[in-house]
Amino acid sequence: MRLTILVLSLVYTLFLYMAVEMGVKHFLNVAEIKEMKFQSLIHDENEQSSK
């Protein structure tokens, strides 16, 4: 019985860790995409103002 609880808790912990890791990666990707769009927007405005 104790072994089953131990195995289940390990699996649960691993699943939780993977879910958190995927969430963090997704959040970082979204932030990176927003940053890239923002940089290109600034770049476009700079080009237009210099003309």
Q: How far is residue 45 CA from its own chain's centroid?
A: 29
**Alpha-helix residue ranges (DSSP H) falling in 1-51:** 2-50
What is the predicted pLDDT for the residue at 11? 97
| Per-residue model confidence as pLDDT tens digits over 1-51 | 899 999 999 999 999 999 999 999 999 999 898 888 888 988 888 878 776
Q: What is the number of other CB atoms lying within 10 angstroms of the CB of residue 51? A: 4
pTM of the model: 0.57
Break the chain into its structural domains and give their ranges. Answer: 20-51
What is the predicted pLDDT for the residue at 21? 96
Rounded to 5 degrees, φ, ψ at 7 are -65, -45
What is the distance between the alpha carbons of residues 25 and 31, in angstroms, rounded to a whole number? 10
